[in-house]
Amino acid sequence: MSEYNAPLQDIRFVMQELAGLDQVVGLPDYRDATPDVVDAILEEAAKFAGGVLAPLNRAGDTDGAKWKDTVVTTTPGFKEAYRQFVDNGWNSVSCDPEFGGQGLPRLLATAVSEMWKAANHAFSLCPMLTQGAIEALTIAGNAEQKAAFLPKLISGEWTGTMNLTEPSAGSDLAAVRSRAEPVGDGTYKVFGQKIFITYGEHDMADNIIHLVLARTPNAPEGVKGISLFVVPKFLLKADGSPGERNDVYCVSIEHKLGIHGSPTAVLAFGDHGGAIGTLVGEENRGLEYMFIMMNAARFNVGLEGLGDAERAYQRAAAYAKERIQGTELGVKGGPKVPIIKHPDVRRMLLSMRSRVEAMRSLAYVVAAAQDNARHNPDENARQEAQAFADLMIPVVKGWSTESAIDIASTGVQVHGGMGFIEETGAAQHLRDARITAIYEGTTAIQANDLIGRKIAREKGVTIKAVIDDMFVDAARLDGDLEAVGIRQMAAIAALDRAVDWLVANFAANPKAAHAGAVPFLFLLGITAGGWQLGRAAVIARAKIAAGDKDPFWPAKLATTRFFAAHSLTQAAGLAEAILSGGEGALEMADESF
Amino acid sequence: MSEYNAPLQDIRFVMQELAGLDQVVGLPDYRDATPDVVDAILEEAAKFAGGVLAPLNRAGDTDGAKWKDTVVTTTPGFKEAYRQFVDNGWNSVSCDPEFGGQGLPRLLATAVSEMWKAANHAFSLCPMLTQGAIEALTIAGNAEQKAAFLPKLISGEWTGTMNLTEPSAGSDLAAVRSRAEPVGDGTYKVFGQKIFITYGEHDMADNIIHLVLARTPNAPEGVKGISLFVVPKFLLKADGSPGERNDVYCVSIEHKLGIHGSPTAVLAFGDHGGAIGTLVGEENRGLEYMFIMMNAARFNVGLEGLGDAERAYQRAAAYAKERIQGTELGVKGGPKVPIIKHPDVRRMLLSMRSRVEAMRSLAYVVAAAQDNARHNPDENARQEAQAFADLMIPVVKGWSTESAIDIASTGVQVHGGMGFIEETGAAQHLRDARITAIYEGTTAIQANDLIGRKIAREKGVTIKAVIDDMFVDAARLDGDLEAVGIRQMAAIAALDRAVDWLVANFAANPKAAHAGAVPFLFLLGITAGGWQLGRAAVIARAKIAAGDKDPFWPAKLATTRFFAAHSLTQAAGLAEAILSGGEGALEMADESF
């Protein structure tokens, strides 16, 4: 029951048919990613995820990371699995070849990431955070920093962390109080306490490279006075190997609802004279660098939602095929049947699966856009792809994670009473998924970014172009897909109304606009997910018409139809909620809450 | 932060203005429930809930019930709190005065129950299960059984349990295999294993009275061959006091996602020769008795959803007023503010609160209907009230509990990163609430009961009458409540369409109808909740117009408006999903899941 089988057929289909794998691997820098290479990587990743990471998922939950006297010991097996992960080269899939990376497309890295996250969410956070550190140093590090840290981070011998949050500075990074004092030799002494630091301390690697937000003396107040520093756990010797222990210590780890296998550290910097670090990039531009790397992290957290949801679905579907209870509806005196025969169990399973497929499709399409934004030789194409990715990343993050919570909860429900028993494993997915809508920016933070920076600031130019594309694709949903097409059209129209309203009201009624930000994010997620499923259904219909007997195609039609009937039909109501402009919520007196 | 303040003002308002307290206490058997008595009970219950039960809630979670060698030890403090609970007479509020109960209206008992559940869900299960045993014995017990057990159960000196589930008999009770062999002296020896037995073993009372479903020799197969037995943990001595230990032992308790303070027992009956029990009522009618008592239990589980949701709301609102983060939108360079100033936090809080108020209103109205169904001197009024209660109990159960899960999850979200940390307490409500949609019949079981026995069987007569009442009340939402009225009308119309479709398709397309059962239950819950909030808003408007300055009234208008904009707007989409008739879900091949 704790098995994980990577859904390779859907992954391949989405990469190929929806995200345009051929076009992506045709980009100048991706010529090494031949179809054979892509295929081999997917196969091997599926084996590693199912064979090595997934079996450790439950142990990560029941026997999570432990803290004692500043030392963190991870779940038995994690260290060895991480060693294998690094040895097999998985850490470097999409990294820069200049420093030892494999330079493969993000589209492929996305598929591979989904597998790690589905197999073992808590484990997967370690390489994800390392990836963040790699990106920060790649973007803003100087040559010395790159040479010192990137090869080891890319290989995975060392891991990385992001140190943003402090007790009074969560969503509001303007309140960061950690400070960095120049020593005079080009280094800084860093002081302060950081909380919620994922894999901030552990025993899986020889060194941990902390990227830390702090203020230099006399830095301006607010977000414009925050700089980024790199602070290794062990200072580097002249030969580049880890030497003296730096003054950063883990003073505790959190007792959390989920992802117990991932140590969430409270880190004390400088309690014994100062933690030695160096400035990354320019002074006072720390937040800017963090945001570039955060965009990648946010996309990746969206993939965590997808992964948790896929795993929850697989577990629920397996249970529903196995658990015998009741007789089939309409078959009086018939034999006891597996519960998958019961209509509501099917409804629950398809509510899970149809959203998983929609989330995957959207995420992969956005991954391909990120590849084009970086490597398309055509400037216009690059810009267009970047605008699309910027628009959709908060949606991939916010919609996929919030959906994942509901999907994992539905997975519990499919199990009935057994779902509430921890040994069953279904509850872990709910507990694990719950964090994804919070960290790397809560859903509201994503939604505010979406309606503000991604829509209102440019008066909806990008989203209006996307809406046009959606209409064109929806028009293809004719004939036996007409019912889907009508619902898709209605959803797009609702989205369009909401965009117009947001653009008109963002500046004039900012509170009203922001009260609808999260419902708008959901509306865009549902409509964009339906858009991609609709594209998939048109292809599936053509395959069936061409005589292809693979049951994958009718299944794709089924998930699309279900999504249209149960998810797209929510769109009009969401638009109404948005257009209500915070009615009720804004007028209520603070004291009355 | 772990405080609970019973929302007495809303409780009193709903009892008085929506549920018709005056009419209820005017019923012949409730004349003792004078306004003074009702008020005093509410005040005292609020004190007991907030002062005794709520402070133990967190300990119940972190230091839950423990099992060793068949003995279960409850959380430190639970035993003493239970003693106080019993000494103060709280166990007997709505019980039959003939056996020592106070015979107070169910409407009042409902308000009091909500407080226990909100204060300490895990603790409250013990008296709830006792209540079930009391009802079963009241309905079907013989004079001897009543005399032996009822006084002690009603006082709370002994507690009761319901033993239905077996490893292969969960939702499908036809599969029950436990057996009862007549000894010849009027007693039976009971054999079998029962699982998921709430408070099946504990240290809080001198005896535990198990109500057990089992089959007599040669009983027919299926549900028609199940009988009900009463099996005390300690057999009674001639003087009625607990004597010899009976052959029922707790072989383990479950490790659960939530309600850790409530021991969920695996009970072995008859491993050492047979557990002595007596038949309750007639042979083979056990399920029927269980169902009568289950209706009460289901209603009570709906109140658990309400209680968990209220508690989650209180915690989130308190945090939002206290947590300083960011500046107010539109106030550039302004001071840091409590997060309750942020529009999305307000949206989240009102999404919680508006549903809590809707759930409470509906539940209390249904409680009053139950009082009328039992005690109204007019036969027609009794029948009408019974039909309304029968229709709505699955909705109170299914809709309130599913909503509670989402509300508790939103409560976590309001706390941001702190919500994921167990010490904060917000996560416990999510974990605790998760069971409510499962036990005493999953949401699908409620929904199937709703569309089958409560609607299709009578061709929608009762619900159509309710819809007529709803339309009449919605017509009063005019003037400044017109926007609410329009949304309420649209929701009622959607409900009406769905009812027509269900009645038309229930027999002809049973699977299609059942695939829409849960969405229908939600549609009815939302529409009925909006109905009650709409009635409340009309009263609030009148109070304000009459010069009443209590901030309760504008707050009620705000929650109603928000509910209309965010919940009622989902109704049309739900109706569409229902009318899709399981599109996608039913056509998918089993192997494709």
> A342-376 pLDDT, tens per residue?
999 999 999 999 999 999 999 999 999 999 999 99
Write out the two tokens for A297. 């992290």
E strand or H helix at B561: helix B552-566
Whether residue B250 lies within 8 A of chain A, CB to CB, comes out as no
Write out the two tokens for B3. 């405080």
Contact A208, A233 (CB under 8 A): yes
pLDDT at residue A292 tops 90? no
* Phi, psi dihedrals of residue B426, rounded to the nearest 5°: -65, -35
| pLDDT digits 0-9 by tens, B215-228 | 999 999 999 999 99
**What pLDDT is attached to residue B111?**
98
SS3 content of chain B, % helix, strand, coil (to 5): 60, 15, 25
Write down the mean pLDDT value for chain B.
Answer: 96
Average pLDDT on A509-516 reads 98
Q: What is the DSSP letter of A164?
A: -
Average pLDDT on B7-18 reads 98
Write out the two tokens for A210. 């902390």
Q: Could you give the C-alpha distances from B286 to A50, B175, B293, in angstroms and in order?
A: 47, 14, 11
Contact: A592, B551; criterion CB under 8 Å? yes
Contact: A590, B321; criterion CB under 8 Å? yes
| pLDDT digits 0-9 by tens, A84-110 | 999 999 999 888 888 888 999 999 999
Please choose, from the candidates A424, A558, A423, A544, the residue with its C-alpha nearest in 3D space to the C-alpha of residue A483: A558
Which candidate from A172, A405, A583 shows the least CB-CB separation from B325? A172
Mean pLDDT lowest among A85-99, A309-323, B424-438: A85-99
What is the three-class DSSP state of A275? strand
Which candidate from B171, B447, B559 shows the least CB-CB separation from A326? B171
- The share of chain B scoring above pLDDT 90, in percent, equals 94
Average pLDDT on B456-480 reads 98
**What pLDDT is attached to residue A273?**
97
Question: Which positions in chain A touch B573 (Cβ < 8 Å)?
Answer: 569-573
* Phi, psi dihedrals of residue B188, rounded to the nearest 5°: -130, 155
E strand or H helix at A385: helix A379-414
Restricting to A residues 500-529, those with a Cβ less than 8 Å away from any Cβ of B are 510-512, 514-515, 517-519
Contact: B336, A421; criterion CB under 8 Å? no
Which candidate from B255, B354, B573 shows the least CB-CB separation from A569? B573
Whether residue B312 lies within 8 A of chain A, CB to CB, comes out as no
Whether residue B439 lies within 8 A of chain A, CB to CB, comes out as yes
| Catalytic residue chosen out of the listed positions A43, A221, A440, A583 | A440
Whether residue A341 lies within 8 A of chain B, CB to CB, comes out as yes
Please choose, from the candidates B412, B347, B334, B320, the residue with its C-alpha nearest in 3D space to the C-alpha of residue A513: B347
Catalytic site positions of B: 440
* Phi, psi dihedrals of residue B215, rounded to the nearest 5°: -105, 135
pLDDT at residue B376 tops 80? yes
Average pLDDT on B500-506 reads 98
Contact B174, B327 (CB under 8 A): no
| pLDDT digits 0-9 by tens, B76-107 | 999 999 999 999 999 998 888 888 889 999 99
- CB contact set of A184 (below 8 Å; sequence gap of 6+): none
| pLDDT digits 0-9 by tens, B336-360 | 999 999 999 999 999 999 999 999 9
Whether residue B544 lies within 8 A of chain A, CB to CB, comes out as no
Contact A536, A361 (CB under 8 A): yes
**What pLDDT is attached to residue B1?**
46
Question: Which positions in chain B touch A586 (Cβ < 8 Å)?
Answer: 343, 346
| pLDDT digits 0-9 by tens, B26-67 | 999 898 899 899 999 999 999 999 999 999 999 999 999 999
Q: Which amino acid is at B391?
A: L
**What pLDDT is attached to residue A360?**
98
pLDDT at residue A1 tops 80? no
Contact: B515, A330; criterion CB under 8 Å? no
Partners of B159 in beta bridges = B208
C-beta contacts of A237-246 below 8 A and 24+ residues apart? A240/A148, A242/A206, A242/A207, A246/A275, A246/A276
Strands (E), A352-401: none
∠ CA A547-A550-A556, nearest 5°, is 105
**What pLDDT is attached to residue A2?**
61
| pLDDT digits 0-9 by tens, A187-224 | 999 999 999 999 999 999 999 999 999 999 999 999 99
Whether residue A576 lies within 8 A of chain B, CB to CB, comes out as yes
State the residue for tokens 């403090």. B77
Contact: B592, A412; criterion CB under 8 Å? no
Contact: A566, B555; criterion CB under 8 Å? no
Which candidate from A256, A336, A571 shows the least CB-CB separation from B422? A256
3-class SS letters over B177-191: CCEEEECCCCEEEEE
What pLDDT band is residue A333 in, cutting at 50, 70 and 90? confident
Measured in residues, chain B has a length of 593
C-beta contacts of B374-377 below 8 A and 24+ residues apart? B374/B29, B374/B106, B375/B27, B375/B28, B375/B29, B375/B30, B376/B27, B377/B27, B377/B28
B195-234 burial code (b ≥16 CB/10 A, e <16): bbbbbbbbebbebbbbbbbbbbeebeeebebbbbbbbbbb
